[in-house]
Chains A and B, each alone.
Chain A
Amino acid sequence: MNGREDLAIETRALTKRYGDSIVAVDDLDLGVRRGEVYGFLGPNGAGKTTTLRMLLGLVRPTSGRAAVLGVPPGAPQGLARIGAMVEAPAFYPYLSGRDNLLVLAGHAGVAEDRVAAVLDEVGLLDRAADRSATYSQGMRQRLGVAAALLKDPELLILDEPTNGLDPAGMADMRDFIRSLGQGGRTVMLSSHLMGEVEQVTDRVGVISDGSLVAEGTVDELRGRAGLRVRAEPHAEAARLIRALPEVDEVTSVDGLLDVTVDSSRAPAINRLLVEAGVAVWELYAQQASLEHVFLELTRSGGEPA
């Protein structure tokens, strides 16, 4: 599978089974466009890490195909252009941060002066001579990102990069990932943290029980914005709004009306209700949060409730 030119990562019916009963990844069709920051969302155990391992050639798919930067996963010509951090970053505990990166640079065929550059980029230069076993979780995460950046890669695959970071560290890492995504580099970011994905990514794929259940921009996934209305009398307000041709759906929840309609129709609906003698207490635009959509998708297996 050579893959489409515009896609950095493409999978077709990618499947990984362990034995007869465990299907870690099931018939996955995925497309990550070149130059985008792609969020790979899913609950724990959904198959995110197994998918990433297959994309890096660490795990063989049971069936299906994949192309990463136009070549099969694990091919040296592809790996030369990919930086990755899968799960917890792993390093030789007795080697310093610098020596760990020197080992990786040796294998990757990267000039040794890149080591100092990436250590500086992730803010670890002053601790570079210390053994990596003495690093905090956050420092190990940063060393993992430094290792992923060594090759100045076209494609970065980061698996839960903010794991173990404190709130300030998470914010720094998000900014860092956002900056990495600029300048034409493709970033695939696996996470189960909605805020992280919402703030950083261009498009999102949601995986649940090994299957991709949704893919699109954050706005697309959140769906059309609607209106929420609190008006009296409630039934009369619902009848008037429901009669409008541009309204798709009106549902009544806890004395409020959830109206599926373009939010730009808010003034017209307000005017309609007021002219009909309905008292409007509240009328505002609302959109489902990504977290809400994610929970709906992963609970229902792809069909938002």
Chain B
Amino acid sequence: MTRDVTAELLVLRKRAATWILLGIWTLLGVFFAYVVPYALDPEDAPGGVEQFFPDSLAGTLLVGFPFFGGVFALMLGVFALGSEYGWGTLKTLFTQRPGRLRVLAAKLAALAIVLVPFVLALFAAGAVASYVIAQIEDAPIGWPSAWLLVRAIAAGWLILAVWAALGVLLGVLTRGTSLAIGVGILYALVIEGLLSAFADSVSVLEPLTNLFLRSNGYSIATTLGASPQEIESNGPGSFSGPFVDSPQALAVLAALLAAFAALSGLLLRRRDVT
């Protein structure tokens, strides 16, 4: 299995799209978390100017994961499987030795590994940005505890991993990339976004929203320092609650991750490769 994963890492590592997504995600992540709100009116930010200081790093950055980061991870997942249909490489892979599920497992494992630098790069860039802002504001430099950082990084990774798994599923389902990305973004914006917005006034929707990636992702983010006010004012990715407790959010995200992977496996195993 190690060699299968190594092979898939080569496929992802040498693909320009991986690096382009990493670069854009990191730049825009810092831009929207620090540069824009600080440049506009830092005092007017939900967490005040302190939101931009290093000790708020985990919470400030995690706000960007459940929606904005999710779309990037979704694309990465779609590319990982959907492109194989377009290039016809799936049939080449499936005529090697390992079997379809092992190929999928290797692809998922490689994706999981590639998501680590996605999270780390944003945290590193965010740390630099917050340090610079603290220097500008002449504020004392205080960093979050290592334990909080580890948990925040792990939570960010889990949120991205679930979105990437959804991307894989959509790539397999539509046997391509374009429709999969379209459907994925539609889901993120319209299904999760609109239904979450209506959940406040339509109580029957509330149990449904508890299963959304957005509500569970933001719920974890709030337990790690993200401000609910900031989440509520997060543009198209905004969420006004209700938030669920951390164990429930973790369990739902883990279950969704497993379900997306299992469904992808089921489809890959059953369907003809033409």
Which A residues are closer than 8 A to B by beta carbons?
Answer: 53, 56-60, 74, 76, 79-80, 82, 84, 86-95, 99, 102-109, 147, 151
B95–A84 contact, CB under 8 A? yes
B96 in the interface (beta carbon within 8 A)? yes
The size bracket of the interface on B is: 20 to 34
Residue of B15, B94, B97, B106 near A80 (CB, 8 A) is: B97
Residue of A79, A86, A90 near B96 (CB, 8 A) is: A79
Kindly specify which of B1-9, B170-178, B192-200, B211-219 makes contact with the partner chain.
B1-9
Chain A residue contacts of B99, Cβ below 8 A: 74, 76, 79
Chain B residue contacts of A87, Cβ below 8 A: 88
CB distance from B96 to the nearest CB of A (A): 4
B14–A107 contact, CB under 8 A? no
New A-B pairs, 17, CB < 8 Å, besides A57-B94, A106-B10: A53-B273, A57-B95, A59-B273, A59-B274, A87-B88, A90-B91, A90-B92, A91-B89, A95-B14, A102-B10, A103-B10, A104-B7, A104-B92, A106-B4, A107-B4, A109-B3, A109-B98
A58 and B87 contact, Cβ closer than 8 Å, known pairs A92-B11, A94-B14, A94-B15: no
B7–A106 contact, CB under 8 A? yes
**Chain B, interface SS category:** helix
A79–B87 contact, CB under 8 A? no
Chain A residue contacts of B14, Cβ below 8 A: 94-95, 99
CB distance from B104 to the nearest CB of A (A): 12
**Chain A, interface SS category:** loop
Chain A residue contacts of B95, Cβ below 8 A: 56-58, 79, 82, 84, 86
Q: In the complex the two chains form, what is the Cα distance from A91 to B89 in whole Å?
A: 6
B94–A106 contact, CB under 8 A? no
Chain B residue contacts of A106, Cβ below 8 A: 3-4, 6-8, 10
CB interface residues, B 1-27, toward A, < 8 Å: 3-4, 6-8, 10-11, 14-16
Q: In the complex the two chains form, what is the Cα distance from A103 to B110 in whole Å?
A: 13
CB interface residues, B 59-104, toward A, < 8 Å: 87-89, 91-99, 103
A59–B272 contact, CB under 8 A? yes
A104–B273 contact, CB under 8 A? no
Closest A residue, CB atoms, query B6: A106
Chain A residue contacts of B4, Cβ below 8 A: 106-107
